[in-house]
Structure 1
Amino acid sequence: MAAIRIESNPAIMMGKPVVAGTRITVELILEKLAAGETVEQLLAAHPRLTREGILAALDFAARALRADVVYPIPDKAA
């Protein structure tokens, strides 16, 4: 089985990183997981997405953050 890749192509989703062979962005996967959706809910909502694709997106995000300086985001004023 070929490894799931994350790819970026200016002609697909304006160049945002996506799970290869789909238009499902890493950003979308992270946002949905952060909002509390489960992996199973993501898979049900996006039939072309696989568990391996989700793991590839998480790995991509972790590697991207490892290479950058990350600054804390302050809480919004009430």
Structure 2
Amino acid sequence: MTTPGAAHPVRAGSPAQAGGLRAGDRILAVDGNLVPDARVAVAAVRSRRPGSTIVLTVGRGSGRLRLSVRLATGLPRPVPR
């Protein structure tokens, strides 16, 4: 059995944060398509067009949520050191 994708730290100001994703959330589905693990979840998100809105079904604690996330349209900015 595989484990659904767990969100690692969510970068401040990222589309994921704006969409409500939190560290520790488990991504269960992308646009209604179940994802068995983090690798498949990442591939599903990357296959979508930049700027499009996707719906993530996530497990948080003992519940489930549906989050709408608008994907970034450009390359991420480097984090200042």
TM-score, normalised relative to structure 1 = 0.26
Higher helix share: 1
Q: Which has the higher contact order (CA 8 A, sep 6+)?
A: 2
**Greater C-alpha Rg:** 1
Q: Normalised by the size of structure 2, how large is the TM-score?
A: 0.25
